[in-house]
Structure 1
Amino acid sequence: MEAALVGLAGTTVGAVTGFAGAWLAQRGQVRMQQEQRLHAEQVRWLDDKKGLYRDLLIRLYGWHDSLASILKDEDDGKLFDNRSTAYKWIVEASLISGDEVRSAVSDVHRALLRVQTVISDSSSTADEWPLQGVEDGLSALEDALRAELAMPARVGSRPRLGRR
């Protein structure tokens, strides 16, 4: 009778251990799948941001170049198109970007509007390049965009302890 009870106890311990092992393995697999999905989503989101930020910079530089051509009396006739499209990308970027990028975009936008006012009033002095503030703002914006896109948390990566 004792042998039967020891056998029953051993079988019960084995069953519980097997169940716990299977449960832990399944839990680990589910967690791994969730992290993979999250990582894939974050990478996709980062790729979308890259395209948006690229288009934003292209249009802001286009607006800058149109203003520069007006200042040099070589109007390229693209000011309205560049400005209108830049507004679209400014709004898009403000919806998804971080605070630093939003602030930098806003600074560039205000600088471009100030230059337009200076050009329309013809109040700039010959010694001063009115677009310098815009150029400085665009440089700061590029730095902010790079910083946001380079953040490891954006793609769910973690620092590795060792090499693979």
Structure 2
Amino acid sequence: MEAALVGLAGTTVGAVTGFAGAWLAQRGQIRIQQEQRAHAEQVRWLDDKKGLYRDLLITLYAWHNSLASILKDEDDGKLLDNRSAAYKWVVEASLIAGDEVRSAVSDVHRALLRVQPVVFEGTSTTDEWPLQGVEDGLSTLEDALRAELAMPGRVGSRPPLGRR
């Protein structure tokens, strides 16, 4: 009778251990698959982001350059076109960019909008170059874009399991 109880206890412990091991393995496999899918989605957007960010920077710099040409009394006549194109790319970038990039884009956009009246009216209260804030913002934006493109989807998150 004692041998039967020991056998039953051993079988029960073995079954529970087997079940727990299978459950842990399945849970780990599901987690790996979820992280692989999330990583694949982030990498999928990388090529789209590269082109979008390039176009965004080009149009923001074109807007800046149009304002600079007005300040130097060499109006290139492209301000409206450059500003309209920049609005388009700002909206596009805000749809797929990370928080840091979205914030930097917003800062540059606001700086460009703030400096326009100064450029048109010549109301600068200092002898400082009115576009300095825009130029600083563009530099910050470039850094944020490089960081996001260098580490897609990993800003503030862990790398996928197989890559630690």
Given the two structures, how large is their TM-score scaled by the length of structure 2? 0.68
Deviation at 1:143, TM superposition (A): 1.3
Give, in angstroms, the shift of residue 32 of structure 1: 7.7
TM alignment of 1:27-42, pairs within 5 A? 38-42=38-42
Q: Write the distance in 1 (CA, Å) between the matches of 2:161 and 2:68.
A: 45
CA contact 1:152–1:158 (8 Å) conserved in 2:
no
Query: Is the alpha carbon distance of 1:124 and 1:153 closer, same or farther for their aligned partners in structure 2, counting shifts above 3 Å?
Result: closer
How far did residue 128 of structure 1 move?
Answer: 1.7
State the one-letter code of the partner of 2:147: A
Residue in 2 that maps onto 1:134: 134
Q: CA deviation at 1:66?
A: 0.6
Deviation at 1:38, TM superposition (A): 4.7
Within 1, Cα distance between the matches of 2:143 and 2:92?
19
CA deviations on 1:118-139 (whole Å, 9 max, x unpaired) are 0111113683210000000001
How far has the Cα of 1:113 moved from its partner? 1.0
Matched, 1:118 2:102: no
For 2:36 and 2:104, the matched residues in 1 are separated by 33
Q: Distance in 1 between matches of 2:133 and 2:123?
A: 16
1:48 corresponds to: 48
Contact persistence 2:104–2:137 (CA under 8 A): yes
- Any residues of structure 2 matched to 1:1-164 within 5 Å, and which? 38-95=38-95, 96-98=97-99, 100-124=100-124, 127-149=127-149, 150=151, 152=154, 157-158=159-160
Counterpart amino acid of residue 132 in structure 1 = Q
CA change 1:30–1:136 in 2 (3 A) is: closer
**Residue type of the alignment partner of 1:50:** K
Partner amino acid, structure 1, of 2:98:
S
Residues paired across the two proteins, number: 160
Q: Which moves more between the two structures, 139-148 or 58-67?
A: 139-148
How big is the shift at 1:148? 2.0
Aligned to 1:3: none
| Amino-acid identity (%) | 77
Superposed CA RMSD in Å reads: 3.9
**Conserved in 2, the CA contact under 8 Å of 1:66 and 1:78?**
yes
Distance 1:73 1:143, change over 3 A: same
Cα displacement string for residues 73-109 of structure 1 (whole angstroms, at most 9, x for unaligned residues): 11111111110010011111112432x2222111111
Structure exhibiting the larger radius of gyration computed from Cα positions: 1
Letter in 2 for 1:147: A
Shift of 1:30: 9.1
What letter matches 2:57 in structure 1? L
For residues 33 and 82 of structure 2, the distance between their equivalents in structure 1, rounded to whole angstroms, comes to 44
